[in-house]
Amino acid sequence: MRTTLPAMVTLAMLIATWPAMADQASQPGSVQVPIAAQNGSNQTGVATLTPTSDNKTRVDITLTGEPDGASEPAHIHKGPCKSLDPKPTYPLTSVAGGKSTTVVDVPLSQLQTGSLAINLHESASAIQNYVACGNIPAAAGT
């Protein structure tokens, strides 16, 4: 069997990133929040909310379609996306290069009330412009 160099590079990259991907995907109790584009931004992605051992929540955002060099503020707002409260409930690390990770000082169960959303803004100077949003699902039985 003959393997091309690009295929070998892709395979090597997958193997190198597999532990982090597997760790994130295998965390018990993780919640996936689809992030949808808003206002024609074409920015979509997913936020993974993972409970930590110290009763906090790690929020990992992965976004595609973000403009090169952008730094987009992200927050958890009272929601849903279609009628966000403009005042953030919990700040998140700005998305840059399509990625953001923040540990929020609340348990995941407190974020899964069915009334919160993750929202991304165009920039600090254009904070009023929403570019993407995802509703955090309610926990089962909520």
Domains, the chain: 28-135 (2.60.40.200)
What pLDDT does residue 142 have? 56
Across all residues in the chain, what is the average pLDDT?
Answer: 85
| Alpha carbon 113 to chain centroid, angstroms | 17
CA dihedral 106, 116, 134, 87 (to 10 degrees): -100
> Is the confidence at residue 15, as pLDDT, over 70?
no
Least confident of 12-21, 73-82, 84-93, 105-114: 12-21
- Which residues share a beta bridge with 58? 50, 103
Percent of the chain past pLDDT 70, that is, above it, reads 79
